[in-house]
Amino acid sequence: MSAPQTILLLHGFPLDSRMWTPQRSALEGLGYRVLTPDLPGFGRRKPWPRENCSMESFADDIHRLLRADTGGSAAVGGFSMGGYVLLALLRRHPEVVTAVMLMDTHAAADTPQARENRRNMIRAVPESGVKPVADAMVPRLLSSTAPAELRRHVFAMICSQNPAGIVNAQEAMARRGDHTDLLRQLRVPALVVVGQEDVLTPPATARAMCDQIPAGRLVEIPGAGHLANLEAPQAVNAAIVEFLRAL
């Protein structure tokens, strides 16, 4: 199979398309067409009404984008929340996905504790704003050895998000279902990438996920946390390019 021309990358929470800057420039430099949309309520996208937000409605939004944009299909990568949207896309519109990149994410639904944590944030953000979210999340998104400049960059990206986008996405993630069964049914090549210091979706989770995918390939990124693509962009770019070239 020849390399796909279009690569679509779905960002995580509570971030936006800017998290893909290192991948975008590397892949475009190699001649790929790279789409990095903002999900509703993040980056430059206005929030949708809360009741319209779900991983499925976000996946339908991506499907519309792909259908309108090109030949209608792409190799799709999803980081964390973006991975949840990718799994919903695979469930609803598998024909638009030519290859899968699951990055620091997982396929299970929330545990009761994770749901409770989301509901706490949903209650707090309207009163306290986004800064406490950034304070709490930056140490969990990055490894303890991440440079201060990267910490400031991620902190600022979180602080720039719309509070309604954060609340709506948390509610949508709390309501998402389990997609573990999809892994066994995947009929396209899949790359699973995980930072070895990822405390949110740890390597053991990535290994278990990859083991279930018929054509799954796992790459662990040494010295990187959850946001491996920003902490170790060269290693993550190399994994992506090697995967794409083998398609």
Q: Which residues bind ligand MLT (CB under 6 A)?
A: 12-13, 80-81, 173, 200, 226
Choose between 12 and 77: whose C-beta lies nearer to ligand MLT: 12
Choose between 81 and 97: whose C-beta lies nearer to ligand MLT: 81
DSSP labels, 43-96: TTSPPPPGGG--HHHHHHHHHHHHHHHSSS-EEEEEETHHHHHHHHHHHH-GGG
Choose between 2 and 111: whose C-beta lies nearer to ligand MLT: 111
> Min. distance of Cβ 102 from ligand MLT in angstroms?
12
> Min. distance of Cβ 3 from ligand MLT in angstroms?
27
Choose between 136 and 238: whose C-beta lies nearer to ligand MLT: 136
3-state secondary structure of 111: coil
Choose between 70 and 180: whose C-beta lies nearer to ligand MLT: 180
- Looking up tokens 């995947």 gives 186
Beta partners for residue 103, in sequence order: 79, 193
> Min. distance of Cβ 195 from ligand MLT in angstroms?
11
Q: How far is CA 64 from CA 61, 68, 117, in A?
A: 5, 6, 32
d(CA 72, CA 70): 5
> Min. distance of Cβ 110 from ligand MLT in angstroms?
7
Beta partners for residue 9, in sequence order: 77
3-state secondary structure of 198: coil
> Min. distance of Cβ 68 from ligand MLT in angstroms?
25
